[in-house]
A and B are shown apart, each in its own frame.
Chain A
Amino acid sequence: MMDRSDFAVIAQKTLDDYIAAPPEDRRTRVVRMTSGTSSGEPLIFIREIAAQNPQWFSRYVRSLLCVGNLPMRLGLALVFRKEAGARAKLLVLDNKDLEPSLEVLAKDFAPEMVMSFPSILTRAAAYLGGATVWIQSAVFTGEPLRPATRVHLKKQFPHAVLQPQYMIQEMGSVSSPTHCPYIPEERYHPAGGVVLGVLNPDEEGEGELLVSARVNDDIVLADYRYGDLVRIYREPCACGASVSFEIVGRKNVDFIRFGGATLRQEEFDRVFAQCGDLADEYRAEFSIAGEQGVITLFVYAPTGLSAQHEKDLRERFSTLLFLTPRQTLRDLVVQGIFAPLRVRHVVQWALKGYKDTRLTFAKE
Chain B
Amino acid sequence: MEDQENLDTFIQRIHQHDAPFYREHWGGVQKFAELPVVTREDFLKTPLSLRRYKDEKALIKIVHDPAGAFLSEWSFVDIGREAYGLPARRPMVFLENPHEAIEKSMWCYEHGMLPLVGEKTLEIATYAAEKYKIDSLITDTSSLIKLEPYVRGRGPLDSISILGERFEPKELLHFGQYARQVRLVLALPETGAIAAAALAAEPRWEALPDCILENTETLLVTKKRLLVTPIVRYQTTLPPLNNYDGAL
Contact = CB atoms under 8 A, between A and B. Distances in A.
Contacts of B116: 31, 44
Interface stretch (A19-27, A188-196, A205-213, A278-286): A19-27
Interface residues of B, number: 42
Among A19, A86, A93, residue most surrounded by chain B Cβ atoms (within 10 Å) = A19
Given A42-B127, A46-B114, A71-B119, A90 B133 contact: no
A69 B59 CA distance: 18
A217 interface: no
Contact of A91 (B62, B115, B127): B62
Contacts of A78: 109
B62 A105 contact: yes
Interface stretch (B17-25, B67-75, B141-149, B158-166): B67-75
Interface stretch (B4-12, B49-57, B176-184): B49-57
B47 interface: yes
14 contacts: A15-B133, A19-B90, A33-B124, A41-B127, A42-B127, A46-B114, A69-B120, A70-B119, A70-B120, A74-B105, A92-B98, A92-B99, A102-B69, A109-B71
A265 to B, nearest CB: 25
A156 to B, nearest CB: 21
Given A74-B102, A81-B109, A101-B68, A109 B60 contact: yes
Interface of A: 15, 18-19, 22, 25-27, 29-31, 33, 36, 41-42, 44, 46, 69-71, 73-74, 77-78, 81, 84-94, 96-97, 99, 101-102, 105, 108-109
B112 interface: yes
A102 B64 CA distance: 10
B55 A87 contact: yes
Contacts of B49: 108
Contacts of B56: 86-87
B107 to A, nearest CB: 12
B101 interface: yes
B76 A81 contact: yes
Given A41-B127, A42-B124, A108-B48, A33 B119 contact: yes
- The 9 nearest A-B residue pairs measured at CB: A108-B47, A26-B114, A101-B69, A91-B60, A44-B131, A94-B98, A70-B117, A31-B116, A87-B55
Given A26-B114, A84-B57, 10 more contacts: A27-B109, A27-B114, A31-B115, A77-B106, A81-B57, A91-B61, A96-B64, A105-B62, A105-B70, A109-B60
Nearest to B113: A26
B172 interface: no
Interface string B26-68: 0000000000000000000001110000011111111010001
A97 to B, nearest CB: 5
A166 to B, nearest CB: 23
B244 interface: no
Contacts of B55: 87
A35 to B, nearest CB: 9
A71 B117 contact: yes
Contacts of B112: 25-27
A194 B176 CA distance: 50
Contacts of A29: 114
Contacts of A105: 62, 69-71
Nearest to A81: B76
B89 interface: yes
Contacts of B99: 92, 94
B14 interface: no
B60 A69 contact: no
Contacts of B227: none
A63 to B, nearest CB: 10
A58 B196 CA distance: 38
B124 to A, nearest CB: 6
Interface in B89-133: 89-90, 98-99, 101-102, 105-106, 109, 112-120, 124, 127-128, 131-133
A138 B132 CA distance: 34
Nearest to B62: A97
Contacts of B68: 101
Contact of B89 (A22, A89, A92): A22
Nearest to A12: B131
Contacts of A42: 124, 127-128
Contact of A92 (B64, B102, B128): B102
B50 to A, nearest CB: 9
A31 B114 contact: yes
Contacts of A96: 64, 98
A90 B60 contact: yes
Contacts of B119: 33, 69-71
A81 B102 CA distance: 12
Contacts of A33: 119, 124, 128
A78 B102 CA distance: 10
Contacts of B105: 74
A44 B128 contact: yes
Nearest to A46: B114
A252 B187 CA distance: 43
Contacts of B117: 31, 70-71, 74
A77 to B, nearest CB: 6
Given A105-B69, A108-B48, A89 B60 contact: yes
B90 to A, nearest CB: 7
Contacts of A94: 62, 98-99
